[in-house]
Structure 1
C-alpha cells in the first residue's frame, strides 16, 4: 500500500481508499494480498511453534549484528542505490540480499523475518522512499523476501545445517539448494504480479535479464559465505563489505551505460546504440550464412500533429508508436529511433531466401497496421483528446540479398522508404536484390 501523501481522511490519517494498490487490476491486487497474508501467517506459525516461542540471547545478538551490517552497507551505498533505483526498469535486484540470505541460513525463520523487516524498513527510508517508489511495492517485496528466506532456511535445515567441516558435502549442497530456492521463489512471486498487472510484457520484463539474475545469485553466494564465516569467526564478515560496494559501482556503471543508449522520449535504442546492436546482428548472420533485415519507418505528416496539438502531444504520439513497434516484433529484434519521426527495426536470425523475404514483408505490414489502428489519448491546451488516423511508410532491405554491410542495407531500405512515400504513403516497399550498387573498393 502506497505511502498516502495524496489521500487523507478528514482527521489527517491515511485514507486506505487512496492507496495506489487499488489502481492495479483486481487479479494483481488479489495476488499481492495473498502473498502478504501468507508471509504474515508463516511468521505467526513459526512464532507459535516450540522452536519459535523464545529466542536465545545469542540468536537475538546475531540478528542485531546482521541488521547493523545491513545498515552500514546501505549507508555506504545510499547514493549509488538511489541512482540504480531510478535507472532500473521493471526488474530491480537489491544487493541487501547478502544480509537477508545470511539471516535465513543462520536464524530461526521468525527471527530472520524480523531482520528482513528491519533491513527493508531502513531501505525504504534511505533508498526507496526518496526514489518515490510506491509503498505497496515495498511491502510486497518484503513479503516475497520473507517467503524466499523461509524456503532457503528449510533447505539448509533439511541438509543438517551449515557445513561444519571441510568434507560436509551435504551442508554445501544445502546452501546451493537454498540459493536456488531463494531466487526461484522471489522471482516467481515478483514475475506473477508483473504479469497480472500488465498485458504480456515479455520474459525479460518478468524475470529480468540473465546478467541481473547472475548478479542476484552472486550476491546470495556472498551471503552464504558470510553465514559460514559468522559461524566461525564473526568479525571476518566485515570483509564482505568492500567487494559488495565495488559490485554496487560496477552495476551502476552498466545501468548508466544503458541510460546513455536509450532514447529519452520513446524508451527505444537511440541511433548509435541501435547501429551497434544491428551491426553485430548483421555480422552474426553473415557468419552463420543466415539472413537479417532492416526496416525504416517514417510517420506520415507528423508535422501536422505537432502544429495542431503541440510538441508535448507529439512526444506522446512518438512514445505510443514506439510501444506498438516494440510489441510487434520478437524479443531478439532491435527497435530504435533514428531521429525526428523516423524509426528503424533490425529483424535478426531470419531464414534465407524467399522465406526470409516473405517474413520481412509480413512483419512490415503488421507494423504498418499496428500504427494505423493506434488511438493515442493526449492532453492539449484545448483539453483531452484522442489522436487517431496515424500512418507510417515502411521501407525494407535484407542481408545478404540487398547488401553485405549494415550501411549499404540501410541505404537500400531508405530508398525503399522513399518509394513508399512517392507511392502515396501508408505503404510497405521491400527492396528487390541489390537496387543500389555496392560501394566499390579502392582495388575495384
Structure 2
C-alpha cells in the first residue's frame, strides 16, 4: 500500500512537494498532546469558518469594504515588514504581538464573518510568505486563534446590532459593547496562544509566561485603531490613508523599545548583558553610598555545565541556561539586577541586602534551582527532562567586602571558587576585606 502511495506522489509533483513539506514540520516532533492541541484549534477554526460561509450571505457593499481592508493590510504589512523582522529578532520569549489585530478587528466590525475569516487567512499567509521566517504551521495556528477570537467578538457585537453589518456603536451603551467585544477578542486569542505555550513546556511555571504589559498595550492600540478604521471605512472610506499614517507611526514607535532591549539584554537568556549590568550596578552603588545602605552581590556558576554541553549539545545547553535564567528572575525582586556574566555564570545585585540576609537569599536561590525540572530536546528530537541541576554561589556585601563594583565582583568570585572547591552545590560568603 505504501509503495502505491509513493508511486502516486511521484506522478503528482506538486502534491509530492506539499506532502514532503508537511512531513518536515517541526510540529510532528512535539509531544502528542501539543500536536493534538494545535490541530484541534486549527480544525475548530476551519469547521467554524465553513459553517459560517454556508450560513451568512455576503453583499456587494461588504465586498467593497473587504477589498479596501485587504489593500490596506497588504500595504501596511509590506511597509513594516523590515520592522517586524527586527522586532522578532529582538524578542526572546516568542510571544510577539503585532498590529495584525487592527485589520481583523476592523473586519469584524465592518464585514460579515466569512470575509473576516478571509482577511485573517490572507494576512497571515502574506506574513508567512513575505516574512522569510517563521514556520507555516505557527502562522496557521495564529490565524486559527484569530478566527475563533473574532467569532467570539462578533457574538458580543451582535448584542448591539443583530440586524447585520456594518456594526457601528452609538452612544455609551454601544461603546461598552465595543469595549466588551475587544476584551473578549483579546481574552480568547491570548488564552489559546498561552495554552499552547504551557502545553509545550508543562514544567515551566505559569508565572513565567505572564502577559507582558508593553505587548498588551500594543493589543489595545491595535483594537482601538481597528474600531476607528471600521468607522472610517463605513462613513468616509477615502479618508482611510489618513489613518494609515497613524498606523505606520505607531509601528515605528514600537521598534525603539526593542532596539533598547536588544542592546541591554543577553540574547540567549533575556538577562542583562555584562556591560549594562555594570552600568546599572554603578548607579545602584552610588545610591547605596548616598543613603549609607548595604548592597549584596551574588556570583553563580552552573555545576558541571561543560560536561552537560558536551553530552547534550550546545543548543540543548542554551535551553537549560534559559530555564535557569527564568528561575533567577522569578526568585528575585523586580528591582534586583540579574545578568549573565558569561558562559554559565550569572551575577545578581541585591540593593538594600546586608550580610544577615544575603546568605539566606543565596541559599533559597540554590534550592530553587536544585528543584528545577527542565524539558529539553533530547536525541531524535524527543523531549527529555533534566533535573538535579546544581549551582555554586559566592556572595559579597558592601561595604564589608568592598565599596567598588569590581571589588565586590572580585570578592564574590573568590567566594564562588571556595564554594566549588568545597564540593559545589553550596553557598560561600566572601572573606571581609582587611581594614
The alignment's C-alpha RMSD in Å is 4.1
Give the one of 21, 28, 31 matched to 2:37.
Answer: 31
Task: Return closer, same or farther for 1:324/1:30 CA change in 2, 3 Å cut-off.
Answer: closer
Give the one of 182, 204, 211 matched to 2:185.
Answer: 182
Matched, 1:85 2:88: yes
- The aligned residue for residue 273 of structure 2 is 270
| 1:59-84 CA distance string (max 9 Å, x none) | 11111110111011112112222222
Query: 1:286 and 1:178 mapped to 2: Cα distance?
Result: 52
- The aligned residue for residue 396 of structure 1 is 395
Which SS does the other structure have where 2:393 is aligned? strand
Which SS does the other structure have where 1:322 is aligned? helix
Matched, 1:420 2:391: no
Task: Return closer, same or farther for 1:289/1:266 CA change in 2, 3 Å cut-off.
Answer: same
- Equivalent pair of 2:62/2:111 in contact (CA under 8 Å): yes
- Equivalent pair of 1:261/1:273 in contact (CA under 8 Å): yes
Task: Return closer, same or farther for 1:437/1:184 CA change in 2, 3 Å cut-off.
Answer: farther
Query: 1:270 and 1:80 mapped to 2: Cα distance?
Result: 23
| 1:279-313 CA distance string (max 9 Å, x none) | 677789999999874311246798x869x969x96
Moved more, 35-44 or 407-416: 407-416
Query: 2:148 and 2:409 mapped to 1: Cα distance?
Result: 51
Write the mapping of 1:116-195 to structure 2, written as runs, cut at 5 A. 116-127=120-131, 130-131=132-133, 133-160=134-161, 161-164=167-170, 168-195=171-198
| 1:211-230 CA distance string (max 9 Å, x none) | 01111111111111111222
Matched, 1:230 2:233: yes
Query: 2:310 and 2:40 mapped to 1: Cα distance?
Result: 45
- Equivalent pair of 1:104/1:112 in contact (CA under 8 Å): yes
Query: 1:402 and 1:112 mapped to 2: Cα distance?
Result: 64
Give the one of 51, 66, 70 matched to 1:67.
Answer: 70
Higher helix share: 2
Moved more, 65-74 or 81-90: 81-90
Offset at residue 202 of structure 1 (A): 4.9
Query: 1:388 and 1:44 mapped to 2: Cα distance?
Result: 46
Which SS does the other structure have where 2:348 is aligned? strand
Offset at residue 325 of structure 1 (A): 2.8
Q: Provide the TM-score with structure 1 as the length reference.
A: 0.76
Offset at residue 113 of structure 1 (A): 1.0
Offset at residue 396 of structure 1 (A): 1.1
- The aligned residue for residue 318 of structure 2 is 319
Offset at residue 345 of structure 1 (A): 2.8
- Equivalent pair of 1:163/1:228 in contact (CA under 8 Å): no
- Equivalent pair of 1:294/1:344 in contact (CA under 8 Å): yes
Which SS does the other structure have where 2:96 is aligned? coil
Offset at residue 210 of structure 1 (A): 0.8
- Equivalent pair of 1:269/1:335 in contact (CA under 8 Å): yes
Offset at residue 413 of structure 1 (A): 2.2
Task: Return closer, same or farther for 1:356/1:78 CA change in 2, 3 Å cut-off.
Answer: same
- Equivalent pair of 1:293/1:360 in contact (CA under 8 Å): no
Instruction: Name stretches of at least 5 consecutive residues in structure 2 with no aligned partner.
Output: 1-7, 162-166, 380-385
Give the one of 241, 245, 264 matched to 2:244.
Answer: 241
Query: 1:320 and 1:86 mapped to 2: Cα distance?
Result: 17
Query: 1:144 and 1:97 mapped to 2: Cα distance?
Result: 11
Task: Return closer, same or farther for 1:233/1:86 CA change in 2, 3 Å cut-off.
Answer: same
Query: Which of the pair has the greater relative contact order for Cα pairs under 8 Å at 6+ separation?
Result: 2
Q: Would you say how many aligned residue pairs link Structure 1 and Structure 2?
A: 406
- Equivalent pair of 1:84/1:252 in contact (CA under 8 Å): yes
- Equivalent pair of 1:298/1:392 in contact (CA under 8 Å): yes
Moved more, 420-429 or 108-117: 420-429
Task: Return closer, same or farther for 1:186/1:426 CA change in 2, 3 Å cut-off.
Answer: closer
Query: 1:185 and 1:415 mapped to 2: Cα distance?
Result: 51
Task: Return closer, same or farther for 1:84/1:177 CA change in 2, 3 Å cut-off.
Answer: same
- The aligned residue for residue 358 of structure 1 is 360
- The aligned residue for residue 98 of structure 1 is 102
Which SS does the other structure have where 1:395 is aligned? strand
- Equivalent pair of 1:376/1:388 in contact (CA under 8 Å): no
Which SS does the other structure have where 1:158 is aligned? coil
Query: 2:376 and 2:115 mapped to 1: Cα distance?
Result: 51
- The aligned residue for residue 5 of structure 1 is none
- The aligned residue for residue 111 of structure 1 is 115
